[in-house]
Amino acid sequence: MKFFIDTANLAQIKEAQELGVLDGVTTNPSLMAKEGITGRNNILKHYVDICNIVDGDVSAEVISTDFKGMIKEGEELAELHEQIVVKVPMIKDGVKAIKYFADKGIRTNCTLVFSCGQALLAAKAGAAYVSPFIGRLDDISTDGLNLISEIRHIYDNYEFETQILAASVRHTMHVIDCAKIGADVMTGPLSAIEGLLKHPLTDSGLAKFLEDYKKGN
């Protein structure tokens, strides 16, 4: 299972990278705005900065909602760095754009996916990744993890190569449940990754080992 961090915060990306378990980064316009990154040139530069920190794929989202605009933007993003994956929304022109990019060898991440039908379309169009937003489904009393299971089942039926990127992951149990289901990738905040470290028996066990060592030395 790949671990992506879902942020545009360079310090957090560095921290996750230094932990040695980071496989990539996802961003979106809201996450960019949260870091105060505005203006096309600053945003493009920020993507390159992120690529220079991590080894894996970095999702960069188009803002256009029409086919031509998405193509223009996506090609510009893909040119920035070989690690860039163009993030395209699940709308009609987005599906067309994913197909266009797939034919040109440009990898895409189909975002804002909330149903199996949308995931099926993304795979048919040739998306490298599909991003079902599990936390946002949970927010409206719908089982986000169930969607991951259903997409896993559908993709396995037909051996689709599109990777299931569980997005809008909010906490450690989302990460663990996605791993049980067989999501290919999860993207979440640093807290969801570092939270996996924690267990009180580890802390008390280590304290006892160190205490006993001191007694004997």
Element (H, E) at 30: helix 29-34
Is residue 118 close enough to count as binding ligand G3P by CB under 6 A?
Answer: no
Residues 6+ apart with CB under 8 A from 112: 89, 90, 131, 133
Site for ligand G3P in 61-80 (CB under 6 A): none
- Torsion angles phi and psi, residue 78, rounded to 5: -65, -30
In whole angstroms, how close is the CB of 27 to ligand G3P at the nearest point? 8
Site for ligand G3P in 165-184 (CB under 6 A): 167-168, 170
Residues 6+ apart with CB under 8 A from 132: 113, 114, 119, 144, 147, 148, 151, 164, 165, 166, 167
Q: Which residues pair with 166 in a beta bridge?
A: 186
Is residue 195 close enough to count as binding ligand G3P by CB under 6 A?
Answer: no
Residue closer to ligand G3P (CB basis): 57 or 100? 57
Site for ligand G3P in 129-158 (CB under 6 A): 133, 135-136
| 87 in catalytic set | yes
Residue of 37, 35, 36, 100 whose CA lies nearest to 73: 100
Catalytic residue among 2, 14, 68, 87: 87
Is residue 28 close enough to count as binding ligand G3P by CB under 6 A?
Answer: yes
Is residue 109 close enough to count as binding ligand G3P by CB under 6 A?
Answer: no
Q: Which residues bind ligand G3P (CB under 6 A)?
A: 6, 26, 28, 31, 133, 135-136, 167-168, 170, 187
